[in-house]
């Protein structure tokens, strides 16, 4: 259905909701590549004005990707709770922005909000960077495994000790370096080069050995395909968090080799292991670690002419289904054809964090860029500082910010220390207590990373 | 307030340079920050990677190198052509689709060439700047020197194509227009912080526009600190031989006893 709006005596019409959303989206190269971006600055603002006038409930009537052919749309529509939505159902999208920023939208009320991802995406398109920070800061989403991540005033990190050949000693050296600098309270997570079950199992054993030996309150993850991790679990691998990349359309998820049914199955299997749990409980419910990022649907040619930011928010509907431990938007990894420069990466990172939090997800961000993007360390510092102010749950910790396996730049162990010091943020409470104890002290005095290796690997 | 991490409490690693990793470890701490020396080392590495991305291919030098080896070169350009040099590079980064397609004039030139050459080649070697012209300039000819003598003498080669502002998939169109059975495409990989000149090689049987990366085999990280020319040549020769034997490339070839292959990226 077409949407029209008259601005200064001139009537403007947009063919349908997805067209309107795409044209209202702040400029980014991925929407231009898809041929759906606004033709110029004026059309973009007129689209935003048109969008601001629409009722929030428009999304309950018109799907941007057809219900019949897309499982993510069905998940969004079928899980929508009209009763919880009722208090804000009468607002326009513009009024929704005003309400989110108002003192009426307290942390408690925001936590109880029930909206569709497209609503979060739509309102974000009307928001400036300070709005995205201000509202997100009001929302805390807390998840628990062996640490409690996302409490107000806390900042956690994923220790990311990747190595181009999965060399155990090389990985152990990076783990040691990170732990000594206070990194790793969200997860110690390795992107493996090899997706084989044997290799994934070896790496999980390595992390588990270090964790047990030095009594570190944290969790392990090896970011292989979910089916590989399922096989590893069946063979008895000590898997804590289950990883998978997800996206906002059924077809894009299919390109990752996953469906909701498969994720359901994997989720049940990982919960069955009952490895998490705090304060006497066993088997916490937060076991998934999801990664997302704007542009993934377009790169899989599965975007249905919907803008990349709206599709990213739809990926959060998939994540939300599983009450994950961690969700990570890998914002600048995809390259300049989707997010061209530091400005586009910065805004996208803040949008993703805002939308994720608004949808109730424990959002972290891989603040990152590739060498073919128009970005540098200064841009990352800006996004890092802003996300800290916005209350991001966790960021990455990579030795010297240089991931020698994935060939991109993320945040360093030092970056997390900077942010904690600058904003007075502390690690997860369990990890903070560990930092004051013997295990940590022992690691700081260790000269040989080989001491971290399990006996069967070390010899 | 929790206690700060204190650099004085952290012991140095014993012989960090002996560890099997190039990760930036034991950088030290000043306050919460990375000390100046390491900070500037990072900046220099980033500068080299950035310059590699934006350097344009020195085509005359490559042609000269081929001529010295008694090989003919065929210069082609992608659909990015027509823009000024630097503007073209920025367009290249935004529009991978244009980098996967030949400019119509050059497609026509290739068609004319093929029409005038009745015998279809077995193999087409294609050199593409990709994201690092530096990689092609440094490694393409030495790799050919290592590879060509190992090939079966009976296979016929197309003239070696040199493509500027191209991506991996442009090889499908070129190979198809030449009527080649097999394409071996060398391309500059996305520069990493410590690898501005890494070369990747993609092997594709029966090249046709629309082929996916799953239908190719890849040998990557060819550079001085990475895979050597001889090792790379051995792997490429293996894939070429297997491709001819099985009449396919890609996943079907992956499970064999090939020396480890790497991720496909473009």
* Residue pLDDT, tens place only, A366-392: 999 999 999 999 999 999 999 999 999
pLDDT of residue B266: 44
According to DSSP H, which parts of A259-412 are helical?
260-272, 296-299, 308-320, 342-358, 377-390
Mean of pLDDT values over B236-246: 94
Strand stretches in chain B, DSSP E = 73-77, 123-128, 160-164, 182-188, 199-205, 216-222
Is residue B9 less than 8 Å (CB to CB) from chain A? Answer: yes
Instruction: Name the strands in the sheet holding B73-77, side by side, starting at the edge strand that comes first in the sequence.
Output: B73-77, B160-164, B123-128, B182-188, B199-205, B216-222
Spatial separation of the C-alpha atoms in residues A408 and A375, rounded to whole Å: 12
B34–A414 CB contact, under 8 Å: yes
CA distance A69 to chain B (A): 24
Query: Using a CB-CB distance cutoff of 8 angstroms, which residues of chain B are in contact with residue A420?
Result: 32
Residues of B at the annotated binding site for adenosylcob(III)alamin?
A: 168, 189, 218
Q: Report helix, strand or coil for A70.
A: coil
Can you list the domains of chain A with their CATH numbers? 3-137 (1.10.220.70), 143-452 (3.20.20.70)
Give me the mean pLDDT over the B156-178 stretch: 96
Residue A81 CB: number of other CB atoms within 10 A? 9
In chain A, which among 253-272 make CB contacts under 8 A with chain B? Answer: none
Its CATH class, for the domain covering B53-254, is: alpha beta
Strand partners, B222: B199, B227
Q: Is a pLDDT exceeding 90 seen at residue B259?
A: no
Q: Which residues pair with A55 in a beta bridge?
A: A92
Give the pLDDT of residue B83. Answer: 64
- Per-residue pLDDT at B125: 98
Residues B2, A370: C-beta atoms closer than 8 Å: no
Q: Which of A150, A227, A147, A151 is nearest to A188 (CA)?
A: A147
Given CB atoms, is B8 within the 8 Å cutoff of chain A?
Answer: no
Which residues, 6+ apart, have CB-to-CB distance to A349 below 8 Å?
Answer: A329, A331, A332, A365, A367, A383, A387
| pLDDT-flagged residues of chain A (< 70) | 282, 459
Q: Within a 10 A sphere around the Cβ of A399, how many other Cβ atoms?
A: 28
Least CB-CB distance to A421: which of B32, B38, B45? B32
Dihedral of CA atoms B109, B110, B112, B118 in degrees, nearest 10, equals: 160
Q: How many whole angstroms separate alpha carbon A448 and alpha carbon A119?
A: 52
Option in A404, A409, A424 nearest B23 (CB): A404
Q: Which of A183, A400, A418 to mutate to test binding with chain B, by most B CBs within 10 Å of its CB?
A: A400
* Total residue length of chain B: 266
Per-residue pLDDT at B265 exceeds 50:
no
What span, in angstroms and rounded, lies between the C-alpha atoms of B198 and B56?
A: 16
Please answer yes or no on whether A170 and B16 come within 8 Å at the CB atom: no
Answer yes or no: do A173 and B131 touch at CB < 8 A: no
What pLDDT shows up at residue B2? 57
A167 inside 8 A of chain B by CB: yes
Q: Is B93 on the interface with A (CB under 8 A)?
A: yes
Specify burial of residue B179 (Cβ count, 10 A radius: 0-12, 13-18, 19+). Answer: middle
Shortest CA distance from B19: residue in chain A: A170
CB contact under 8 A, B21 and A181: no
B1–A contact, CB cutoff 8 A: yes
- Residues 125-164 on B with a CB inside 8 Å of A are 131
B202: nearest Cα among B230, B166, B255, B246: B166
- For B44-61, what is the mean pLDDT? 95
In three-state secondary structure terms, A52 is: helix
Those of residues 401-420 in A touching chain B at CB distance below 8 A are: 401-402, 404, 407-409, 412, 414, 417-418, 420
Helices (H), B31-188: 36-54, 59-68, 85-94, 96-99, 104-115, 133-147, 170-178
CB neighbours (10 Å) of residue A78? 8
Element (H, E) at A397: strand A394-397
B248 pLDDT higher than 90: yes
Residues of A in contact with B167 (CB under 8 A): none
What is the domain partition of chain B in residue ranges? 53-254
Judge whether A370 is closer than 8 Å to chain B, CB to CB: yes
Q: What's chain B's average pLDDT? A: 90
| Chain-chain contact of B22 with A404 (C-beta, under 8 angstroms) | yes
Q: Does B255 touch chain A (CB under 8 A)?
A: no
Predicted local distance difference test score (pLDDT) of residue B67: 96
Chain A contact set for B46 (CB, 8 A): 371, 376-377, 409
DSSP secondary-structure letter at A238?
-
pLDDT score recorded for residue B262: 42
Cα nearest neighbour of A427 on chain B: B2
| Cβ–Cβ below 8 Å for B20 and A377 | no
Yes or no, beta carbons of A336 and B11 under 8 Å apart? no
Q: Answer yes or no: is pLDDT of B255 > 50.
A: no
For the stretch A399-443, pLDDT in tens is 999 999 999 999 999 999 999 999 999 999 999 999 999 999 999
**Minimal CA separation from B96 to chain A, in Å:** 7
Give the count of Cβ contacts less than 8 A between chain A and B.
142
| Strand B199-205, strand A326-330: pairing | unpaired
Of B21, B33, B190, the CB nearest to A163: B21
Closest approach of B189 to chain A, Cα-based (Å): 10
For the stretch A271-294, pLDDT in tens is 999 999 887 776 778 999 999 999
The stretch B56-85 carries a mean pLDDT of 91
B-facing residues of A in 97-156 (CB < 8 A) are none
**Between chains, do B26 and A182 touch, taking CB under 8 Å as contact?**
no
Q: Can you name the residues that pair with B74 across neighbouring β-strands?
A: B161
* Among A residues 328-357, those touching chain B with beta carbons less than 8 Å apart: 335-337, 340
Task: Answer for the pair A1, A16: CB distance below 8 angstroms, yes or no.
Answer: yes
């Amino acid at each position: 259905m077409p949407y029209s709006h008259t601005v200064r005596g001139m009537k403007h019409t947009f063919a349908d909701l997805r067209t309107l959303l795409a044209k209202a989206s702040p400029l980014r190269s991925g929407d231009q590549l898809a041929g759906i971006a606004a033709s110029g600055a004026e059309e973009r603002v007129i689209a935003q004005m048109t969008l601001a006038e629409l009722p929030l409930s428009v999304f309950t009537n018109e799907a941007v990707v057809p219900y019949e052919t897309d499982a993510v749309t069905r998940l969004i529509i079928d899980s929508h709770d009209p009763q919880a939505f009722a208090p804000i159902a009468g607002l326009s999208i513009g009024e929704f922005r005003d309400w989110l920023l108002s003192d009426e939208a307290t942390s408690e009320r925001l936590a109880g909000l029930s909206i569709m991802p497209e609503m979060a995406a739509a309102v974000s398109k009307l928001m400036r960077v300070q709005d995205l920070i201000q509202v997100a800061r009001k929302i805390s989403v807390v998840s628990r495994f062996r640490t409690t991540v996302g409490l107000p005033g806390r900042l956690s990190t994923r220790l990311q000790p990747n190595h181009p050949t999965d060399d155990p000693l090389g990985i152990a050296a990076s783990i040691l370096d990170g732990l000594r600098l206070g990194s790793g309270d969200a997860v110690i997570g390795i992107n493996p080069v090899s997706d084989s079950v044997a290799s994934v199992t070896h790496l999980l054993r390595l992390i588990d050995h270090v964790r047990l030996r030095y009594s570190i309150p944290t969790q392990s993850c090896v970011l292989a395909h979910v089916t590989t991790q399922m096989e590893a679990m069946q063979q008895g691998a000590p898997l804590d968090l289950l990883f998978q990349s997800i996206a906002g359309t059924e077809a894009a998820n299919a390109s990752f080799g996953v469906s909701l049914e498969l994720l359901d199955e994997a989720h049940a299997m990982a919960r069955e292991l009952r490895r998490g749990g705090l304060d006497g409980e066993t088997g916490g419910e937060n076991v998934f670690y999801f990664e997302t990022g704007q542009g993934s649907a377009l790169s899989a040619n599965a975007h249905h002419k919907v803008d990349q930011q709206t599709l990213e928010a739809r990926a959060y509907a998939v994540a939300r289904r599983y009450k994950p431990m961690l969700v990570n938007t890998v914002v600048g990894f995809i390259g300049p054809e989707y997010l061209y420069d530091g400005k586009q990466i910065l805004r996208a990172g803040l949008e993703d964090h805002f939308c994720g939090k608004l949808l109730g997800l424990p959002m972290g961000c891989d603040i990152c860029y590739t060498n073919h993007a128009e970005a540098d360390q200064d841009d990352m510092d800006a996004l890092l500082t802003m996300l800290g102010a916005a209350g991001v749950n966790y960021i990455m910790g990579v030795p010297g910010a240089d991931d020698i396996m994935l060939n991109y730049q993320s945040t360093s162990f030092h970056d997390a220390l900077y942010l904690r010091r600058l904003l007075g943020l502390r690690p997860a409470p369990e990890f903070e207590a560990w930092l004051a104890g013997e295990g940590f002290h022992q690691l700081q005095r260790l000269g040989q990373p080989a001491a971290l290796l399990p006996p069967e690997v070390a010899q | 307030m929790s206690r700060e991490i204190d650099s004085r409490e952290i012991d140095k690693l014993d012989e960090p340079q002996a560890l099997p990793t190039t990760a930036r470890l034991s950088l030290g701490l000043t306050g919460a920050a990375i000390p100046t020396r390491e900070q500037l080392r990072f900046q220099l590495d980033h500068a080299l990677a950035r310059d590699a991305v934006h350097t344009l291919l020195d085509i005359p030098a490559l042609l000269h190198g081929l001529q010295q080896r008694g090989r003919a070169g065929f210069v082609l350009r992608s659909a990015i052509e027509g823009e000024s040099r630097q503007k073209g590079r920025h367009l290249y980064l935004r529009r991978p689709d244009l980098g996967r397609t030949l400019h119509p004039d050059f497609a026509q030139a290739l068609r004319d060439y093929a029409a005038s050459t009745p015998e279809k080649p077995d193999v087409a070697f294609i050199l593409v700047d990709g994201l690092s012209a530096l990689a092609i300039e440094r490694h393409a000819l030495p790799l050919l020197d290592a590879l060509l003598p190992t090939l079966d003498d009976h296979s016929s080669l197309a003239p070696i194509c040199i493509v500027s502002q191209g991506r991996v998939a442009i090889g499908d169109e070129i190979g198809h227009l030449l009527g080649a059975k097999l394409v071996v495409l060398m391309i500059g990989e996305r520069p990493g912080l410590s690898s501005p000149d890494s070369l990747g090689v993609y092997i594709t049987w029966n090249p046709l526009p629309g082929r996916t990366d799953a239908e190719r085999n890849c040998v990557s990280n060819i550079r001085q600190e990475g895979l050597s020319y001889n090792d790379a040549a051995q792997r490429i020769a293996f894939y070429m031989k297997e491709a001819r034997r099985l009449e396919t490339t890609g996943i079907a070839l992956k499970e064999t006893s090939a020396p480890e292959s790497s991720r496909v990226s473009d």
